[in-house]
Amino acid sequence: ARATGTQRVLGGVTERDTKAVGGSTEVGTPSLLLPHQGSFPARYPRMPGTSPFCPLDPNHSVFFLVDNGTQGQVGGEASFRARLERYIAQQKVGTGGLGSIEIPVLLMLIGGDATMFRRVSEATRASIPCLLLGGSGGAADCLARLLEETSKCGSLGGICCFTPLIPPQVERIGELRELVTVYSDQEGLEEFETVLLKALVKACQGSHEASSYLDELRLAVAWNRVDIASSELFREDVLWQPSLLEGPMRDALLGDRPALVRLFVENGLDVGQFLTWGRLEELYMGAPEASLLCQLLTRRHGGPAEPSPPPDYLSLERLLGDVCAPFYVGLHPPGQPPNKVSLVDWAPSYRDELSPNPWTDLFIWAVLLNRREMATYCWEMAPDAVAGALVAARILRELSHLETEAEEAGAMKELAMHFENLAIGVFGECYRNSEPRVYKLLVRRSQLWGSATVLQLAHQADARLFFAQDGVQVRSGGLAAGNLA
């Protein structure tokens, strides 16, 4: 539960099966809720063992007290609890606080007595998925067995008629069996979030509309479960419109989920129609506060003043250099100097304009955040592979000089070497296929990278291993050193 951010709302009593889980209980003596002095934390005396009531569970500090007019009866809070859970399920949270996903609510039944039949019935009527833990005994096993035996006929009505001791709520549960998932440890050990997510997805499987699965998809992104997203959500009977994938795509980029980004692209999302200047700005604004990129952006925008900036301080504009001029030049108010970081602050109309080089923009962003897998995938999708890899090597080596954390600086240097090796690999493949054409590749001016040549970029990136390649040595040996700078 801690790993997934799950909040547990429990209702067992301390001396029953749910003691190991913990839960709030009925209050036998309301006058003992707080001492008259109002001290904190409150101390509650334990009831005698013969009392029909149960003390407050010491594992909790917040309690809902529900009065339904009865006394000494368990389960009186079921209706209120179902309404509370339904209300919680309608609230929204999301990455960056944008309210992008409804809070998932699920009832998990472990064991339980006869009152749990009503509890599960109330939950299913409120469209809340239920997870029964098979093998835990009690009501959970009873419901699991009944649902299994009637899975073919699809109705519990016949069993309820012949077995009048079964509460009528059981029949209502059978009518909404698509909301109920039975999990048994005999199926194999799975991580807790896997079981939860599969139960939530199963509750939606009565619909073929992709919009019905959107919250589950965003939950899969939050928990980084590309396996469940690919197998349970991107099915043949569910057609995902590209517009529905834009929100999850944004979450996957911000959360550094490259496998999910790849999955969305493979299932129809067009990055060329996704990446606007506004979305690109959101990605930069979403940089973790502890990252070097966030610190550089803060300095660039005149954040908290530093008493004496280091003399070797380099702005992002210096880091990116003139090779990135084609991307952001022109995105500034007329008569004012260009600002290559604040792309769209002055003109809201730019927020909706599409980036002409979406994969390259995402590539630069991922490199600046030192995200290896994300940057590598964006590099694979972007044009001009050799030049792009050398630019990444240059940026990362410059960033490593600014990074104060030794481990992070080392990772930047390692990633710079990774991209230099990628440039070598692509160049070597081209060299083996056609030597004359590869020489043109070295001196061709890339419009994507400020009209720089591959040789110029390699020189700026201090790519010594790249220069050591046979094809590069042959060509660069015939050029004057001044042409490389």
- pTM of the predicted model as reported, rounded to 2 decimal places: 0.74
**Rounded-to-integer distance, Cα 196 and Cα 177, Å:** 16
pLDDT on residue 374 = 98
Contact 445, 452 (CB under 8 A): yes
pLDDT value, residue 380: 97
In whole angstroms, what is the distance from residue 276 CA to residue 256 CA? 19
Which residue reads 């749910």 in tokens?
18
pLDDT at 28: 44
CA gap 291, 407 in Å, rounded: 13
DSSP states along 12-77: --TTSGGGGT------S-GGGSS-TT--SS---PPPPTT-SS-PPPTT-S-------S-SS-TTTT
Helical segments of 65-207, H only: 78-89, 115-125, 138-149, 157-162, 169-175, 192-202
pLDDT of the residue at 414: 97
Other beta carbons less than 10 A from residue 455's beta carbon = 23
Q: Name the CA radius of gyration of the chain, rounded.
A: 30
Query: Do 129 and 99 form a contact (C-beta atoms < 8 A)?
Result: no
**Do residues 45 and 56 lie in contact, with contact meaning Cβ atoms separated by under 8 Å?**
no
Q: Cα separation of 79 and 72, whole Å?
A: 17
> What pLDDT is stored for residue 328 in this prediction?
54
Q: What residue ranges do the domains of the chain occupy?
A: 17-187, 204-269, 274-483
Q: Mean pLDDT per 10-residue run, the chain (485 residues)?
A: 54 44 40 50 58 68 77 74 80 56 83 85 86 88 84 55 60 84 73 80 74 85 90 86 93 95 95 94 90 82 43 46 51 45 53 91 95 97 95 94 93 97 94 86 88 90 90 62 44
